[in-house]
Amino acid sequence: MDAEHRTKLLDLLGPERCLLDLADRLPYATDASHFQHRPEAVLLPETAQEVSAIMALANRHACPVTPRGAGSGVTGGAVPAPGGMIMSLDRMHRVLAIEPDNFLAVVQPCVVTAELNAATEPFGLFFAPDPASAGFSTIGGNIAENAGGMRAVKYGVTKHSILGLEVVLPSGEIIRTGSKCLKDVVGYGLTELFVGSEGTLGVITEATCRLLPLPEDKGLTVASFPDMDTAAKAVLAVLRAVQPSALEFMDACCLEALRPQMKQGNMPGIPADAGAQLLIEVDGDAEEVRRKTDMVAALCREHGAAAVEAAQDPARCDVLWRARRSLHNALIAFCPHWREEDVSVPVGRVPDLLRALEDLGRELDLRMACFGHFGDGNIHLNVTGNAGPLAEKDPAIDRVYATVAALEGRIASEHGVGLAKAEYVGWNLDPAVVALMRSMKRLLDPNGILNPGKCFPKEPDPGATAP
């Protein structure tokens, strides 16, 4: 960043919102991943017009800009590029409007997911996406990654709940996509182009979010099984019989990690011989929930569950969810050297994936902990070597991705590609598709300044010669 660029940014934002001191910049050098790079400046805009001016200046000076919300991403999507700046949107955190008769809310990008639901609850409405990070992740971050969460099995992922966006393009131009209408086929559907684009195509400054009526009641069934194959058969039976609002699973390694906490009395116990656990939630009116909860419990018993508890009392349901919600910390306490992966396969292939990963772990002497959203095919996989942590580009990860791809799956599901998986997208995208995506990026960002280095492998240097 040259002196002229720096001076203009200071004139625009002032020293309190254009951070140049090293101590102020260091906290923005990384996100929740292991990647890090120190930004040249940290900018704190408060309006779309300021974002527009920042982007216009950056475009003129060919200076990379990385948008940032809560910084809770795990794939390096909010890590600045070399020589680049961080544009933190955390001062744009207002719920601008709630329109209950239109079943929508208009929000700025750094509204925290849980806070949006707290604001809409008095109107009897809720925002459906519920990532595990809902207590601190932002709507803008959810949009950037197309986040899902536990309710995705019934209500879909973030793209299904976004009606329209205000976006600042790399040139500084402000555009609006979509509308407040549920049905809208006027022109191309540009909203979904920006959802999941990881901040590489535009900076989201406002979102129109679809809201749904809060269900009257919920019921939760927790079932323990001797092994994952048995649990998988129960899952498919449940999915054919009811529409769950959440269908989570934890494998034997996860249960092993949780048991020390259970002994401390923090959560319900798990049978000693359990090799897998399912948590199946249904929602709706009270009578419907009672009927479906009983049906789910019966199906689990019929398909080999060793222990089943069904509950509708909110306090008891919260206790039963505690193990699943505590799993991340339990795994870190169990082994600090996990490599976290986030993959998905068609729902019917989940049992095949879990068996294949188990075989791969035995072959390569790996420890694997599998858990996540069985109902929508999204598996979170923590993997480490029994002899020590995996290398950055360990061949074992290639084997995992090859296994996922062979089952018609995707190597990234809701955590994004970011820096962590940019070099691996060829497992899912053929060269023609990558080339088309690159051309779309160049059309919107010809100078390549917006969150460069994310989503794609590095482009070959046209001037380089083969060795």
| pLDDT, tens only, 128-164 | 999 888 889 999 999 999 999 999 999 999 999 999 9
Q: pLDDT-based confidence at 29, cuts 50/70/90?
A: very high
Mean per-residue pLDDT for 12-40?
Answer: 96
pLDDT digits (tens, 9 = 90+) for 383-432: 999 878 888 888 999 999 999 999 999 999 999 999 999 999 999 999 99
Cβ contact 56:103 at 8 Å: no
> What pLDDT is recorded for position 464?
41
* 51-to-9, 101, 166, 465 alpha-carbon distances in Å: 11, 31, 11, 40
Mean per-residue pLDDT for 208-231?
Answer: 97
Q: Round the average pLDDT of the chain to a whole number and report it.
A: 94
d(CA 330, CA 392): 23
d(CA 414, CA 148): 6
Mean per-residue pLDDT for 23-37?
Answer: 95
Cβ contact 338:369 at 8 Å: yes
> What pLDDT is recorded for position 44?
98
Q: pLDDT-based confidence at 265, cuts 50/70/90?
A: low
Among the listed ranges 60-64, 99-103, 185-189, 257-261, which one has the minimum average pLDDT value? Answer: 257-261
- Checking if the pLDDT of 261 tops 50, the result is yes
d(CA 338, CA 334): 10
> What pLDDT is recorded for position 465?
40
pLDDT digits (tens, 9 = 90+) for 95-130: 999 999 999 999 999 999 999 999 999 999 999 999
pTM: 0.93
- Checking if the pLDDT of 34 tops 60, the result is yes
Cβ contact 264:191 at 8 Å: no
- Checking if the pLDDT of 444 tops 60, the result is yes
Which is nearest to 20 in space by CA: 43, 36, 37, 45?
43
Cβ contact 134:330 at 8 Å: no
> What pLDDT is recorded for position 467?
32
Q: Which two tokens stand for residue 190?
A: 């540009």
Q: 3-state SS of the chain?
A: CCHHHHHHHHHHHCCCCEECCHHHHHHHCECCCCCECCCCCEECCCCHHHHHHHHHHHHHHCCCEEEECCCCCCCCCCCCCCCCEEEECCCCCCEEEEEHHHCEEEECCCCEHHHHHHHHHHHCEECCCECCCCCCCEHHHHHHHCCCECCHHHHCCHHHHEEEEEEECCCCCEEEEECCCCCCCCCCCCHHHHCCCCCCCCEEEEEEEECEECCCEEEEEEEEECCHHHHHHHHHHHHHHCCCCEEEEEEHHHHHHHHHHHHCCCCCCCCCCCCEEEEEEEEECHHHHHHHHHHHHHHHHHCCCCEEEEECCHHHHHHHHHHHHHHHHHHHHHCCCCEEEEEECCHHHHHHHHHHHHHHHHHHCEEEEEEEEHHHCEEEEEEEECCECCCCCCHHHHHHHHHHHHCCCECCCCCCCCCCCHHHHHHCCCHHHHHHHHHHHHHHCCCCCECCCCCCCCCCCCCCCCC
| Distance, CA of 264 to chain centre | 31
Cβ contact 143:116 at 8 Å: no
218 contacts: CB under 8 Å, gap ≥ 6: 245, 281, 282, 283, 289, 312, 314, 317
pLDDT digits (tens, 9 = 90+) for 223-234: 999 999 999 999
> What pLDDT is recorded for position 5?
97
- Checking if the pLDDT of 316 tops 90, the result is yes
Q: Beta partners for 200?
A: none
Residue that the structure tokens 């940019």 belong to: 422
> What pLDDT is recorded for position 460?
63
Mean per-residue pLDDT for 48-52?
Answer: 98
> What pLDDT is recorded for position 364?
94
d(CA 298, CA 378): 25
Domains of the chain, with CATH numbers? 1-214+428-458 (3.30.465.10), 217-406 (3.40.462.40)
Q: pLDDT-based confidence at 270, cuts 50/70/90?
A: confident
- Checking if the pLDDT of 268 tops 70, the result is yes
> What pLDDT is recorded for position 392?
81
Share of the chain above pLDDT 70, in %: 97
For 342, phi and psi rounded to 5 degrees?
Answer: -135, 105
411 contacts: CB under 8 Å, gap ≥ 6: 343, 401, 404, 405, 421, 424, 425, 427, 428
- Checking if the pLDDT of 264 tops 80, the result is no
Q: Which two tokens stand for residue 8?
A: 């203009």
